[in-house]
């Protein structure tokens, strides 16, 4: 177990526990209202180590999506500290924060967010283009992911020509094509029927077994069972199980 930790998110380790990939310290998110302040997150302190599969659950309005947006470096307007690989996200300017997110984080959304005017292969190439990967390397990585996800036959199709399950599969492939340290998934099976949902969660389990750190937001108890740890949010406060 950890013997001690220091504020930059690094830790003194034994042989069994890695230093945290993510460290949150007293993270709070609030909105000003006519009568004062409404808190969305309260004093969230959390460590996530490389290779974990963490589930965030809670009722609507509990702060789940807000926490995921902060983890994804999409929302800088919070109080407290966020350390990623020992780097102070809370103190970064916009450019540095966005660059770190592009390099380290892949996103999977309930609504897929594929670009309708691009083919499957072109959608997969977009994150690599953002990272400045050369054209030849982009082609090689896209070809590899198409093969790994068994969607080579779909590479020239457009999103409108795919089923919901196929679109989500492409969305996950796009999230992993740049080999991120962390995948954040927001209700990744919310628009899928049960058989498709099981296939997607089995895919997440395989990615996690191969070493990818995953944090998912879900209302599904079945999906939560694929994770190794569950964080429950209620009125912005966090409990773990």
Residue 113 has phi, psi (to 5 degrees) of 55, 35
Better pLDDT: 106 or 2? 106
Q: What is the mean pLDDT of residues 199-221?
A: 92
Rounded-to-integer distance, Cα 161 and Cα 158, Å? 5
- Concatenated DSSP letters for 96-128? HHHHHHHHHEEEEETT----TTS-HHHHHHHHH
Nearest to 162 by CA among 114, 128, 110, 122: 114
Residue 209 has pLDDT above 90, yes or no: yes
State percent of the chain over pLDDT 70.
93
Domains of the chain, earliest start first: 50-73+96-240 (3.40.50.300)
Distance CA 40, CA 62 (A): 7
* Model pLDDT for residues 119-155, shown as the tens digit of each residue: 999 999 999 998 889 999 999 999 999 998 889 999 9
- Torsion over CA: 76, 77, 82, 88 (sign): positive
A 10 A CB-CB count for 45 gives: 12
Answer whether 0.75 is exceeded by the pTM. yes
pLDDT at 215: 97
For residues 19-47, average pLDDT:
93
What spatial distance separates the first Cα and last Cα of the chain, rounded to whole Å?
Answer: 17
* CA-based nearest residue to 6, from 81, 78, 98: 81
With 90 as the cut, is the pLDDT of residue 240 above it? no
């Amino acid at each position: 177990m950890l013997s001690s930790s220091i504020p930059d998110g690094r830790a003194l380790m034994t042989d069994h526990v890695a230093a945290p990939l993510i460290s949150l310290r007293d993270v709070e998110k609030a909105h000003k209202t006519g009568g004062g302040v409404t808190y969305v997150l309260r004093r969230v302190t959390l460590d996530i180590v490389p290779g974990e599969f963490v589930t965030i659950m809670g009722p609507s309005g509990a702060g789940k999506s807000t926490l995921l947006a902060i983890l994804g470096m999409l929302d800088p307007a919070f109080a407290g500290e966020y350390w990623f690989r020992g780097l102070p996200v809370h103190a970064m300017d916009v450019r540095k924060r966005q660059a770190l997110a592009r390099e380290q984080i892949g996103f999977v959304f309930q609504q897929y967010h594929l670009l309708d005017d691009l083919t499957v292969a072109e959608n997969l190439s977009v994150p690599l283009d953002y990272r400045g990967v050369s054209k030849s390397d982009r082609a090689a990585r896209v070809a590899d992911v198409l093969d790994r996800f068994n969607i080579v036959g779909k590479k020239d199709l457009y999103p409108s020509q795919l089923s919901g399950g196929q679109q989500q599969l492409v969305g996950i492939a796009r999230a992993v094509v740049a080999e991120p340290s962390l995948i954040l998934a927001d209700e990744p099976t919310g628009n899928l029927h049960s058989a498709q949902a099981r296939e997607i969660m089995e895919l997440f389990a395989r990615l996690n077994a191969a070493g990818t750190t995953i944090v998912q937001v879900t209302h599904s108890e079945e999906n939560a069972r694929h994770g190794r740890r569950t964080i429950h949010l209620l009125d912005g406060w966090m409990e773990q199980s």
